[in-house]
Structure 1
């Protein structure tokens, strides 16, 4: 039976892992897409898997109220083999992304893999090559890229709203007490799980640098021409607890007349919102020759932005424009990346224009260099490009 013209495009999801990020993503999948103007899409959670316990999966399904039928697996391989699954959302620790994504791709599944894509660029390149060879969709789940607020900001930059953009500063810091809040096996500080501020949080600071100073270029996108960084490590485990990065890009946007700089910072101990009341200033500043865009809230889920025009002598002062983020259906905002993946599948596209694979690779290469400069090495097994490899 052919599908009616107005029927939504149905996508059957498999959820790999049952931790906090998997819960947040799945809750968003279950929100009616019509509430955010996406009635052309229908997300179905067809299967969930845990590597530890089928009981844990059954609890996950029950807690979230996932409609039947939804298969419960205690094996990732069983999930990858399920013929009712179109695409797998990989929510395992960073250390396992390469192995888990390869497993899904080898079984012919499209993949939306949580950030960071992998532990290193060499692993990411293999994933990209494998997906392209097999004709499968692959996307790094940097949910921020698909949020309407961020799409608007990129469009403003492209349109020259603040002139030629010469500098971006972005901070992603969470203000935790490492010794008190987290045990040594917590994924944020555990070297066996590729823990640390850079891969988990710093990637969001870098994504702001890239989505403004790299992604908005219509052509000739060029990676940073210079990278410098400083890193402070958590003495107990060796993971980085604070990392600061300075990038130089060979051209600015949208004009490309000058070079541009980005400062990307991340820390576990300090916070961008110390009083948790929004009193602090913007977490991101996008500075151009005609003004700046200030972005507020955590870099991964911004809550508003301001456009502040430059004062020009002899001309009327333009008003500051402020735009708030809206998250329909009381969602976290992860549904927008799921919608993007679904629409790519419907169109037969094998990567997203919002988060191109080439850009994921470029960011991974920057993080490789920052880790090299900081002497941050993870265990050989999780840095390995060998597949399959039992971790």
Structure 2
């Protein structure tokens, strides 16, 4: 690390101006020192909207101006202008996942490294092409799974690797939001619109799968990791659009963690109408993730995309139940750590992040492909396509 007085500055270009880009921007512009980071500094030098330059101008005024000293930020009315800007070091893509493949290809075409929101693409074939393109062009590329970079997540993975609860034999994970889709979302909304790859699986289920993979698959050495088998899928369609409003996945990981002596069962669920119990008081709340080991259990309390509490319990009744709480420093939402990781990887000349590597992102996409196949869920041909370029601007964010 460099000294606190000499941090390296990374210049970000924001592709899209929606809520997730707003949150990411606010987070990375919080002084990194508040979270113990003194080797890097983030600035936003460009923002683009596919709908209008006015939208980008408003974004700059609301989320950038006055928050990064004298560093200027340019607003653009097209993504092509953004990726052509020489003052942008790395592009953050916060468009709907239906557009990620086209947006990433555009950035790569102009030699820009990319941090792209999850789900990375609509299907695994698209993801593989993006990884091949990044490798060919020697460009850093990372799926933005922010939860993996939380100190809480890192602690839990370390507990599993250290054998704190013994061999992990089952993981249950759920993200369900308790929203009646007919009341909460217009049929054109990204959450239920198949033209935007909408539905519970790609938007919410990715978090349920994140907890499966980061606790069972990622905790093994790379040479021992094996893709899970999708043993079964249940899927319910949203009545207006046909997108999935509820998906349940039964997985079998052939190699258990930490020693690899067994297999591990994974039960991952996600839904719009159902609700997991994260708004009750901490005493009465139920865990949204349960990691069952032979000698103990780790319980993670939701929402699982941004958890702040977990519990350790043990089969040995003599060993005390332990509760751990986590405070997000500097009033950040939690996206700063993935920004820090992407910035460091780029500065160090890396092509991928160890915590969310290309191979693992691809296996997760392949798993979701199989879940969709078993559930009979397809999306329009143009957003499933690997052809480039295809003009999807009319449906962009």
Bin for the TM-score computed over the shorter chain: over 0.9
1:225 and 1:380 map into 2 onto residues whose CA distance is 26
1:119 and 1:227 map into 2 onto residues whose CA distance is 21
1:43 is matched with: 42
2:307 is matched with: 302
Secondary structure at 2:310's aligned position in 1?
strand
2:148 is matched with: 145
Secondary structure at 1:364's aligned position in 2?
helix
**Cα distance, 1:65–1:86 mapped onto 2, change above 3 Å:** closer
Q: Is the contact between residue 313 and residue 321 of structure 2 (CA under 8 Å) also seen in structure 1?
A: yes
1:112 and 1:228 map into 2 onto residues whose CA distance is 32
TM-score of the superposition, structure 2-length normalised? 0.95
Alpha-carbon shift at residue 6 of structure 1 (Å): 4.7
1:266 is matched with: 270
2:333 and 2:180 map into 1 onto residues whose CA distance is 25
**Cα distance, 1:4–1:337 mapped onto 2, change above 3 Å:** closer
1:369 is matched with: 370
Secondary structure at 1:352's aligned position in 2?
coil
Bigger Cα displacement from structure 2, 377-386 vs 216-225: 216-225
Alpha-carbon shift at residue 65 of structure 1 (Å): 3.7
- Runs of 5+ consecutive residues of structure 1 not aligned to the other structure: none
2:233 is matched with: 229
Q: Is the contact between residue 235 and residue 246 of structure 2 (CA under 8 Å) also seen in structure 1?
A: yes
2:3 and 2:288 map into 1 onto residues whose CA distance is 46
Asked whether 1:247 is paired with 2:248, we answer no
Secondary structure at 1:122's aligned position in 2?
helix
1:9-39: CA deviation from partner (whole Å, max 9, x where unpaired): 2110000000010101000011000000011
2:308 and 2:271 map into 1 onto residues whose CA distance is 20
2:179 is matched with: 176
1:91 is matched with: 94
2:28 and 2:260 map into 1 onto residues whose CA distance is 39
1:27 is matched with: 26
1:58-110: CA deviation from partner (whole Å, max 9, x where unpaired): 11111114344101000100001111101000000111000001100111001
2:3 and 2:253 map into 1 onto residues whose CA distance is 48
1:223-256: CA deviation from partner (whole Å, max 9, x where unpaired): 0134311000001000000000000011110011
Alpha-carbon shift at residue 320 of structure 1 (Å): 1.3
2:101 and 2:92 map into 1 onto residues whose CA distance is 13
Alpha-carbon shift at residue 132 of structure 1 (Å): 0.6
Q: Is the contact between residue 298 and residue 313 of structure 2 (CA under 8 Å) also seen in structure 1?
A: yes
1:312-391 aligned at under 5 Å gives the runs: 317-391=318-392
1:130 to 128, 133, 143: 133
1:284 is matched with: 289
1:297 and 1:251 map into 2 onto residues whose CA distance is 27
1:340-380: CA deviation from partner (whole Å, max 9, x where unpaired): 11111122111001101100000000100010111111000
TM-score of the superposition, structure 1-length normalised? 0.96
- Runs of 5+ consecutive residues of structure 2 not aligned to the other structure: 393-397
